[in-house]
Structure 1
Amino acid sequence: MGTNQATLEHVIAEYWPRMVRAAAGYERNPALADELAQEMAFEVWRALAKFEQQSALNTYVYRVIHNVAVDHIRRATRRHETALESEVLDDCGVGPDAALQQTQQKQQLMQAIQRLPLSLRQVTLLRLEDLSDREIAAVLGLTETNVAVRLTRARQQLATLMAE
């Protein structure tokens, strides 16, 4: 990929909101989630120089984001850190009561997602980014069938966690 500065900036700007959401899905502490998103952006920027268009750009970028997130979790596990609070998601522009309720529901969902095992959390977060089973499979190096099974298990566990 002929990666000039403008191309790099465009790709980072386009994928930045997705990196922020992914980071929030992997890290509960807002400050650490922000650092993780920045690390994701940096690694995507570095990796774009090596992009040989053997896959879709979308798949390639998500693969980098996924790898950074997994490395982050490994580092956090080694340090025995526990995450503190989930990040408050953006307000949808509704009334204060409805906005509060939506924010609480989003927080509960994100907390439930964060409680999923990593293998289920990964497919769930990628699905929330509107990736297809095929794209998720390419990002994670799985079969489409395995992705579908993991998504089903994730939905079942999320339903249980949300009911608690």
Structure 2
Amino acid sequence: MSFEVPSFSEMYDKYKSLVYNVALSYVQNAEDAEEITQDVFIQLFQSIDSFKQQSTLKTWIYRITINKSLDFLKHKKSQKRFFIFGKRSENEYEIENISNFEHPGVLLENKEKSKLLFDVINTLGENQKTAFILSKIDGLSNPEISTIMEISISSVESLLFRAKDNLKKKLGNKFDEYRKKK
């Protein structure tokens, strides 16, 4: 069975929403998600010839998107650490914490709770966060997550269990604080 590489525009049309939504789940900022989406499609365009077909095209695109999102967050975190010591010049600005998170599908009255939830999701380790986002936000099955993350299904189950356990503990404290503010 031979694989016919789709044209770049076909790939973009088919996967742009998937890429954007995965990136948005990681960075919770529309402009950053758009930047990551552009970076993903640039990489896809430059490296489609190296696609080995050891997985589906969709799985490969998920992997690239997750890696770009995690790299973006690492870069942003290192910039935040640098800026703690002050600005290098008047043209630079301190990177602010994400506070204007807008995710599609979140009702207006749930925006504050949604931001609280994503703030806590962001405290999870990379693998727990990735497994949780792919499972609970993107709705993927454990075998699909296993393929994307290149780990066993039992490892996915373990990551999801630990992620949920950590979220329960952290959200319990956050919602108590949230209720006291009201």
TM range (shorter): 0.7 to 0.9
**Aligned: 1:122 with 2:130:** yes
When normalised by structure 2's length, the TM-score is: 0.72
The CA distance in 2 between the partners of 1:47 and 1:104, in whole Å, is: 40
1:95 counterpart residue number: none
The CA distance in 1 between the partners of 2:58 and 2:118, in whole Å, is: 23
Task: Read off the aligned partner of 1:139 and give its amino acid letter.
Answer: I
In 2, are the aligned partners of 1:116 and 1:154 still within 8 Å (CA)? yes
Larger radius of gyration: 2
Per-residue deviation, 1:120: 1.0
The CA distance in 2 between the partners of 1:70 and 1:22, in whole Å, is: 11
- Segments of structure 1 that go 5 or more residues without pairing to the other structure are 93-98
2:44 counterpart residue number: 44
1:155 counterpart residue number: 164
RMSD: 2.3
CA displacement 1:33-77 (0-9 Å, x = unmatched) = 321222123223333332232212221111111221232233223
1:9-88 paired onto structure 2 within 5 Å: 9-79=9-79, 80=81, 83-85=97-99, 87-88=101-102
Task: Report how many residues are paired.
Answer: 156
Quickly say closer, same or farther: Cα 1:91–1:34, change in 2 above 3 A.
same
The CA distance in 2 between the partners of 1:55 and 1:4, in whole Å, is: 15
In 1, are the aligned partners of 2:24 and 2:103 still within 8 Å (CA)? no
